[in-house]
Structure 1
């Protein structure tokens, strides 16, 4: 019995799977990119579609059968192509259909001479939620109709139907107005159409089949490229095991343990065992994406035949001096969809690593939009390196993978995962400013009274709240305001669809997207959210829809993957991240030991200074400068000083420069530095100098994580303060929320996020096994138990000092080295 079952499985052909929606969108998109007439709004509609689907389906009656899964197999010599999806609705009388397969009998009935073809007894219903005026629609969208026709063919084939109907149901998401279009097709007619569609996809399914065979064969001989570092083999095994068991893994591993390679290598091995078919390597910053890029190249050097795309932000990919996504201003937008499929196919034949430079080169040559090109390439590769947003943010996630909300064969590797808590709060929160409604009302009143009145109504609703708010007002509900906002969003939809050249269009669009995002997020408003009002630094009145705990929203996205690995050098305390990054209780968490010899690093804790607000005086700034001078003068080299704010950075750096009297070279981070300025800043660490170099930076900024300054490039990190977020209304709302849910409000709102920044900044010093250096934690609070409990395990050898003894300890460390 076991042998026959194995033989049966071996006889099964490999299967290529594509969704109906992705099939028709890929094959039938044509023409220009043009964002002037609501293109973005149609994409936005995908978020709210499920709500309106359920509403229409519930009202449809007993003959309406909702959310019917459908699948059709096209059998080729080497593989099967599985085309699958879920029909929104199929309308037929109960008991009408017999479970008869077309493969058992011919569904086509011969008609007697003069007999008319019967009206189809089955209708496929495809529902689309849109922000369009449905009454102005002359016909259904061709891609939408093609999706419905695919479902119609599959269902007609499965049930031996001689004919079938298709109904396109468009519903305006604001007004809930409905417009329906109905078409009828004979079986012969819809079969011929479907087979022609599938035939045009064959070269693509051939590519997927043959590339996967090559990829899988290359994985069989793939070995880890280096000798394993201490503990690294266990990390690789734990990651592989968590993928095999389809679990979420939290991996806390200090710098230097080789986290990137220790997650990518087992993920590739898992793909080789058919435990996943696509790796999403998710990053918060470009620097960590570069490490992943280089790791996939390293795997390629070992003989691995995988394909990778790096998705870069749209503005950084644009070939124009100023981005303008329409065929009048951009030659790459004009006819983009007519050329892009061939451009994708050709680059896949030639390249394995499709990074920014590669994509720009090909896009320029093929005259396609580089950013949209990169998104299309993503459908065909094995690994996607991209920002968190493309998976977790409902506004910009890759809809070709996630719009249908179903589970894919994806592996998520989330790098620097400690960043995701705050990033997720931003993704799932929105703020509206009362003064913006007044400004938009004045700007847009030329387009009609209806829009002006809806914006004024929103302004009045906010005025009512403003009169109740002195400094902070927490609300239980906002139904009245939301209704007004729905009307304003609908009126703006109408304007943006009709007018191509609106005055101050970019400003209007920014406002519109904030309004639309607020409306969309309000659908998810639950116990994980708080609504509150306050005033910003300009004195403007603000209404916040604030996602305090993003775990529920993130879990919905995690459920679309096979397995997920969250990893970072700072996932402490692990309970904090497990509770805020997912809702699943059955997760794994492992802590990797440091590979570094502790004697190569001095950890000093200053007990006589503090960055508390009450202590921020001239004398305290001078005391910090004393510490810095005492540390720097003991050994010539490069040092970084991390301050909690630009204000403290300025005060302490000035005091230090006055004390050192030019004995050191000093550079200071500035707010809003350009990418080139950041690169120039880091190049300063490569200069050969005759005296010490001190760089003053902001804790939690661009230089406090994700940069590698190895060996002599950096020998000291001096941390000023405990990194606590600034006290403000948002943090206080957060603190109250966690206290109300039985957790330590201060720790969750302030302590843990602050100490994360401290540990990240300290991690700049020790990057490789040959690094040596000093880490100085300058704040008396570091001596207290609640702070020390958040220290990594390897920080168990800290020496407490003051500004008078710190120099001797530093001198003693370097003498021993």
Structure 2
């Protein structure tokens, strides 16, 4: 272990780690508890008199072997006169105060004893008292527990805590030292760089070194994953940041990142890598209910956590979903919570966008890491649409009506608030229908106020009704309402209110049309950020919608492959909605003439599932050769279904044609190398379906001076085209062709958005 190492820890985290115990319990506890606790603290602190000092910052350096442990925190108050010194901690609770005993809440006692040790050591006090004051959140009731300790007793106690904490953290620091030593010897894990790969790696390293943000468009085949991870690790090796978060939109790209880290580890790198997988996917129970009564992995979770952490960190580096699940079963731990706890000690974290960006699920425990964390955002072209949904919220009249029917005979106060929202929406519906107005730039203040009042009533009811009839319905409504009120507070010129009315239903959406400000705010808190994708074209568009600024860096790298590896053909057929019926036969003829001519594996992508079925039905009515097989993407396929679909794409002597949807699970993030894929057909230009929300977005960007139609429809659509075509050439050995079927590819605007190597496509007549 390095000499003179300094490690900082808060008093709270120190004692929580050592004294951790108990179960996971996700039952509702209320959202304004912190607010109530603060008010209670302030009331009690204000009544203490002149001998009382509130909110006292305490810190000390505690030498432990070769490490100086910096312990610091803020105690609620210190009472001191000539006779006595008392360190006080104030805790709010909803429990009956008469039921409390001195043995309750060992973590609180540990916290106040550490404060007492720091203060008595600094003030040279031989004896000091500590006090825990428990106060009711919603009344003036309070109860005191006071103990007195000698300095010697406190010294022995704190020494025991520090030894136990450092027994664990010492191994973490050893791991960091091993990481730093192996980073010094780290080399690129392939014999050579591909064309353009070194340029991307250099741009990433420069970005991190200068605490900047980079927008990188790098063509498929560059090897973007290793070209971003490798220079990030080199930068960390030079003390430019301490952690990295690799954000992905899909499971497949998560696996590619794991494989890149695995390769580096096999080459000698010591690096702790944790993958976070959604709770619903990894839960061992049939139903996700994170309460000790229903889940043995939640019951006593914190009693077993330290043993689980020590075990996995001592034996594993790449902690994938499968590895985490194995250790979770071994130690009877919730795999999802275990992955979150592991992430606190990891060098690299692989997870979905929402764990960094989404206010509903964002990991607040990572907030302190932002300034030392490098953020890599894979397939960044997906982020704008994902973020729009993260920062939007909606409510439906039917929800309040149905919940009201359940609650009507259970709680009159709650029913009254539910009815008020339902009636408010009903009245508003009449006004809107009279005006024929369904899009508003202003937020609906009167509806927000009604929902906010209902959310407060939800809280009251849920606190006193932790289970039973109506609980699940009210809890779901509470979260919807809370989200609606939260978004309303953030509502600004980047939002519109969109109201959808159908028969008796009223659906209100506070729609975030432009999430760029929120993305900018979060990414600028990081040490550095890299947005990268093969299809960030036009780059200026993505810089705009992802919160780019003039001082950000950008780079565009063309395909590293030879021109002769790829042939691109075009076929003039109108696939516009009004021409769909007339387009079916020409498309079928093109599939037959192109994909039947040479045996191999092919994918044909369609802009919608409905269109796919129309063409597929017409195609299957033809008399097909014996050597031609077809498979078709189904709606809502499971991961197992997807694997079965892709397993059909193997080297073969016959012909396989897979029918799939643009923008779907097979159009992005899959690798079918070599003879697993020989050609791709793309029908249409991928424009999203025309909807009221898309049209509102179009007008929003039009008002800002951009081409609104391009921003709302053309660029997102053409991104799907580039992604689908990018499935084809994945390595230096791959060859194949792309067939583009749509007459818009022949216009300058659409042709210019295609990758450079596609733009001179060969026209196919007949």
Instruction: Establish whether TM, by shorter chain, passes 0.5.
Output: yes
Distance in 1 (CA, whole Å) between partners of 2:464 and 2:44 is 32
Pick aligned residue for 1:726 from 678, 683, 689:
689
C-alpha distance after superposition, 1:351-396 (max 9, x if no partner): 1121122222221121121221121111122111111111112222
- Following superposition, the deviation at residue 80 of structure 1 comes to 2.4
Rate the CA distance shift 1:445–1:257 in 2: closer, same or farther, 3 A. Answer: same
Aligned pairs for 1:375-390 (under 5 A) are: 375-390=340-355
Pick aligned residue for 1:752 from 704, 715, 723:
715
Alignment of 1:78 onto 2:66: yes
User: 8 Å contact 1:240–1:267 — kept in the other structure?
Assistant: yes
Rate the CA distance shift 1:688–1:612 in 2: closer, same or farther, 3 A. Answer: same
Match of 2:226 in 1: 261
Which segments of 5 or more consecutive residues in structure 2 lack a partner in the other structure? none
Question: Which range moves more in the overlay, 138-147 or 347-356?
Answer: 138-147
Pick aligned residue for 2:724 from 737, 741, 761:
761
Alignment of 1:616 onto 2:607: no
Alignment of 1:711 onto 2:686: no
TM-score by length of 2: 0.89
- Following superposition, the deviation at residue 326 of structure 1 comes to 2.1
Match of 1:674 in 2: 638
Distance in 1 (CA, whole Å) between partners of 2:393 and 2:109 is 34
Rate the CA distance shift 1:69–1:388 in 2: closer, same or farther, 3 A. Answer: farther
Pick aligned residue for 2:5 from 14, 31, 44:
14
Paired positions, count: 752
2:225 match: secondary structure: helix
Alignment of 1:241 onto 2:229: no
Match of 1:499 in 2: 465
- Following superposition, the deviation at residue 453 of structure 1 comes to 1.1
- Following superposition, the deviation at residue 286 of structure 1 comes to 0.7
- Following superposition, the deviation at residue 51 of structure 1 comes to 12
Pick aligned residue for 2:22 from 31, 34, 44:
31
Match of 1:522 in 2: 488
User: 8 Å contact 1:413–1:566 — kept in the other structure?
Assistant: yes
Alignment of 1:313 onto 2:278: yes
Rate the CA distance shift 1:579–1:341 in 2: closer, same or farther, 3 A. Answer: same
Alignment of 1:644 onto 2:607: yes
Match of 1:480 in 2: 446
Backbone CA RMSD of aligned residues:
3.6
Question: Which range moves more in the overlay, 23-32 or 559-568?
Answer: 23-32
C-alpha distance after superposition, 1:673-716 (max 9, x if no partner): 122111111111126342x2111111111110011111111111
- Following superposition, the deviation at residue 124 of structure 1 comes to 7.6
Alignment of 1:777 onto 2:743: no
1:659 match: secondary structure: coil
Distance in 2 (CA, whole Å) between partners of 1:323 and 1:790 is 45
- Following superposition, the deviation at residue 775 of structure 1 comes to 1.2
2:7 match: secondary structure: strand
Match of 1:558 in 2: 523
Alignment of 1:332 onto 2:320: no
- Following superposition, the deviation at residue 245 of structure 1 comes to 0.9
Aligned pairs for 1:230-629 (under 5 A) are: 230-402=195-367, 407-470=370-433, 472-503=438-469, 505-535=471-501, 540-582=505-547, 584-607=549-572, 609-617=573-581, 619-629=582-592
Distance in 1 (CA, whole Å) between partners of 2:336 and 2:513 is 32
Pick aligned residue for 2:165 from 189, 194, 201:
201
- Following superposition, the deviation at residue 456 of structure 1 comes to 1.2
Match of 2:617 in 1: 654
- Following superposition, the deviation at residue 547 of structure 1 comes to 1.6
Match of 2:629 in 1: 665
User: 8 Å contact 1:165–1:182 — kept in the other structure?
Assistant: no
1:685 match: secondary structure: coil
Distance in 2 (CA, whole Å) between partners of 1:477 and 1:59 is 39
C-alpha distance after superposition, 1:446-467 (max 9, x if no partner): 4311111111111122223222
- Following superposition, the deviation at residue 66 of structure 1 comes to 11
TM-score by length of 1: 0.83
Rate the CA distance shift 1:639–1:535 in 2: closer, same or farther, 3 A. Answer: farther
User: 8 Å contact 2:538–2:753 — kept in the other structure?
Assistant: yes
- Following superposition, the deviation at residue 221 of structure 1 comes to 1.3
User: 8 Å contact 1:167–1:180 — kept in the other structure?
Assistant: no
Distance in 1 (CA, whole Å) between partners of 2:711 and 2:53 is 46
1:513 match: secondary structure: helix
User: 8 Å contact 1:149–1:166 — kept in the other structure?
Assistant: no
User: 8 Å contact 2:515–2:546 — kept in the other structure?
Assistant: yes
Match of 2:83 in 1: 116
Alignment of 1:223 onto 2:211: no
Rate the CA distance shift 1:382–1:689 in 2: closer, same or farther, 3 A. Answer: same
Question: Which range moves more in the overlay, 781-790 or 153-162?
Answer: 153-162
Rate the CA distance shift 1:328–1:12 in 2: closer, same or farther, 3 A. Answer: closer
User: 8 Å contact 1:134–1:177 — kept in the other structure?
Assistant: no
- Following superposition, the deviation at residue 147 of structure 1 comes to 6.4
Rate the CA distance shift 1:170–1:615 in 2: closer, same or farther, 3 A. Answer: farther
- Following superposition, the deviation at residue 487 of structure 1 comes to 2.4
2:286 match: secondary structure: coil
Aligned pairs for 1:93-108 (under 5 A) are: none
Rate the CA distance shift 1:736–1:28 in 2: closer, same or farther, 3 A. Answer: farther
Distance in 2 (CA, whole Å) between partners of 1:790 and 1:246 is 31
1:616 match: secondary structure: helix
User: 8 Å contact 1:16–1:208 — kept in the other structure?
Assistant: no
